[in-house]
Amino acid sequence: MNMYGQYLIELGIVDEATVYEALNVQMSQKIPVGKLALQESLLTMKQVFEILNVSSETEKSFGEVAIELGYIDKLHVQELLDIQKKGVQPIGEILVKMEKMNRDVLERTLKEFDEIMRK
């Protein structure tokens, strides 16, 4: 579970089901790494399918297999993961859009959460 989501549950602002619903929305926004690699012209379609096949037969991630096969390096995988992360809304923003909390509560709890995390 998301740490900020857990914090909101502990405060009684939202319940566990609401956080899971928001996490599902967040996951649906995640663009697969293989698709990003195609968009960035780092891999061919044939390479993506080969990586997906190997990945499905092992417990390794797409990026790990792509590196092992020598198609891309760690730096490119990290760049793809960064692009992927930028395309996903933060859970707090999702909860506001779901009307499960308002912007004032989001800003206040984010500030409190950041302070706790810095300790």
The model's pLDDT over 68-115, given as tens digits with 9 standing for 90+, comes to 999 999 999 999 999 999 989 999 999 999 999 999 999 999 999 999
Core vs surface per residue 48-80: b (16+ CB within 10 A) or e: bebbeebbeeeeeebbbbbbeeebbeeebbebb
Q: What is the pLDDT of residue 76?
A: 97
Q: Dump pLDDT digits (tens) for 22-37.
A: 999 999 999 999 999 9
User: Which H helix or E strand runs over 17?
Assistant: helix 16-29
Note whether residue 52 is domain-resident: yes
Please provide the average confidence, as pLDDT, over all residues in the chain: 95
Note whether residue 62 is domain-resident: yes
Note whether residue 11 is domain-resident: yes
Tokens encoding 83: 């692009």
Residue 119's pLDDT band (boundaries 50, 70, 90)?
Answer: confident
Q: What is the pLDDT of residue 1?
A: 65
Tell me the percentage of the chain whose pLDDT exceeds 90: 97
Q: If we measure between CA atoms, which residue out of 69, 93, 95, 77 comes closest to residue 34?
A: 77
Note whether residue 98 is domain-resident: yes
Note whether residue 119 is domain-resident: no
How many domains is the chain built from? 1
Distance of alpha carbon 18 from alpha carbon 24, whole angstroms:
10
Q: DSSP states of 36-104 as a string?
A: HHHHTTSS-HHHHHHHHHHHHHSS--HHHHHHHTTSS-HHHHHHHHHHHHHTS--HHHHHHHTTSS-HH
Note whether residue 8 is domain-resident: yes
Q: What is the pLDDT of residue 43?
A: 98
Note whether residue 47 is domain-resident: yes
Residue 2's pLDDT band (boundaries 50, 70, 90)?
Answer: confident
Domain, as residue range, for 8: 3-114
pTM to 2 decimal places: 0.73
**How many distinct helices (H) and strands (E) make up the chain?**
8, 0
Note whether residue 43 is domain-resident: yes
